């Protein structure tokens, strides 16, 4: 039955796209939005790239290319990584408001339904859906993937940022989905020696424990993704005791784990292949946080493509040092502004 439904969805998508792009369509007014319709998978999500090439919806497609895209609509590469699917939904809603093309709104609502369906029963979101291979099915905070979904659904539930026009049934579903998502966040906050800390970039979809993703992304405490999670929790209209506890514990961890007196910067280095490097240098006016902290020791750790955890950034290969953010100032705005304002309302 599932196969029949899948192929039925494919043919509906194909017929819809062919009709839309046939000559004389009075609604096809936004080329970017039109291409988004073409690339939307039959189950509602969008890929982040095609054959390792990043999506470019501004590119003109030949009739043959359009047919090839439509024929590939069953591909299981739908994802929330790199803001894929979220970006398309937001764009299509705006395009609908501007051009009144019902196809744009229908595609956006189908995308929202896809996000709702992709959510695990425990409230977390996988990086990819329906592809569940490798680490793709794990609960993914990495690069703020799950937070981006929850932020979109919060807009849907509250009718903000152009989401006031989506089907009302999606708003009630979004509310329930957000509640499950927040519960998942609270449950996945890593507890070390009885003390809640922050989050890993990925958590096991069944056990909720921290897990590794790519070889240079070890199971660890995240100084980056955790900041976005806290910012989202602070925006919740209902600040439960569990949410308050999670926020306060995370902020205490940020204070404990800061690397004060240093700046993370790119420098010129003629001895290296690309003539540059990224290093940590002394700066008494600067504070940074590491991307990864060892769960047991709370010390910054670094991993390259060999997946070996090291204690110094200089010990990993230059390609990763210059191609990944191992330090940053992610929690700084929380500390300077957001948390003090939040505390005034949530003592």
**Residues classed as catalytic:** 82, 214
> Are 76 and 42 spatial neighbours (Cβ–Cβ below 8 Å)?
no
CA distance 343 to 346: 5
> Are 154 and 146 spatial neighbours (Cβ–Cβ below 8 Å)?
no
Q: What angle do CA 205, 241, 255 make, to 5 degrees?
A: 80
CA distance 37 to 110: 11
Nearest alpha-carbon partner for 90 in 31, 29, 36: 36
User: 239, exposed or middle or buried, with CB in 10 Å at 0-12, 13-18, 19+?
Assistant: middle
CA distance 332 to 43: 39
Q: How many residues does the chain have?
A: 347
Nearest alpha-carbon partner for 170 in 66, 240, 93: 93
CA-to-CA dists, residue 35 to 66, 158, 201, 337, angstroms: 9, 28, 32, 40
For tokens 């996945």, name the residue.
188
Nearest-10 crossing angle of helices 31-39, 102-118? 40
Dihedral sign (CA 294, 297, 302, 303): negative
Q: What angle do CA 55, 56, 62 make, to 5 degrees?
A: 110
């Amino acid at each position: 039955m599932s196969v029949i439904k899948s192929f039925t969805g494919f043919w509906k998508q194909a017929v819809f796209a062919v009709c839309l792009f046939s000559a004389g369509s009075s609604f096809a007014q936004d080329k970017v939005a039109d291409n988004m319709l073409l690339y939307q998978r039959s189950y509602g999500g969008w890929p982040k790239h095609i054959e390792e090439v990043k999506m470019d919806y501004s590119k003109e497609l030949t009739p043959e290319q359009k047919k090839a895209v439509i024929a590939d609509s069953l591909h299981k590469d739908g994802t929330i990584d790199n803001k894929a699917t979220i970006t398309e939904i937001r764009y299509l809603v705006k395009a609908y408001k501007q051009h009144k093309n019902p196809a744009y709104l229908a595609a956006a609502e189908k995308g929202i339904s896809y996000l709702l369906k992709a959510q695990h029963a425990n409230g977390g979101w996988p990086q990819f859906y329906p592809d569940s291979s490798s680490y793709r099915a794990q609960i993914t905070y990495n690069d703020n993937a799950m937070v981006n979904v929850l932020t979109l659904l919060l807009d849907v539930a509250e009718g903000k940022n152009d989401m006031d026009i989506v089907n009302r049934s999606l708003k009630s579903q979004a509310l329930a989905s957000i509640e499950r998502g927040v519960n998942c966040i609270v449950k996945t906050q890593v507890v070390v020696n009885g003390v809640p800390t922050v989050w890993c970039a990925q958590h096991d979809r069944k056990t909720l424990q921290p897990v590794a993703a790519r070889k240079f992304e070890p199971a660890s405490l995240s100084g980056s993704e955790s900041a976005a999670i806290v910012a989202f929790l602070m925006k919740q209209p209902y600040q439960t005791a569990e949410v308050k506890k999670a926020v306060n514990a995370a902020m205490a961890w940020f204070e404990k784990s800061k690397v004060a007196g240093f700046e993370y910067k790119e420098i010129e280095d003629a001895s290296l292949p690309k003539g540059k490097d990224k290093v940590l240098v002394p700066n008494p006016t600067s504070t940074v946080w590491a991307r990864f902290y060892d769960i047991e020791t709370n010390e910054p750790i670094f991993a390259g493509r060999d997946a070996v955890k090291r204690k110094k950034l200089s010990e990993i290969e230059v390609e990763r040092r210059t191609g990944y953010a191992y330090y940053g100032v992610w929690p700084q705005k929380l500390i300077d502004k957001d948390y003090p304002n939040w505390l005034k309302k949530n003592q």
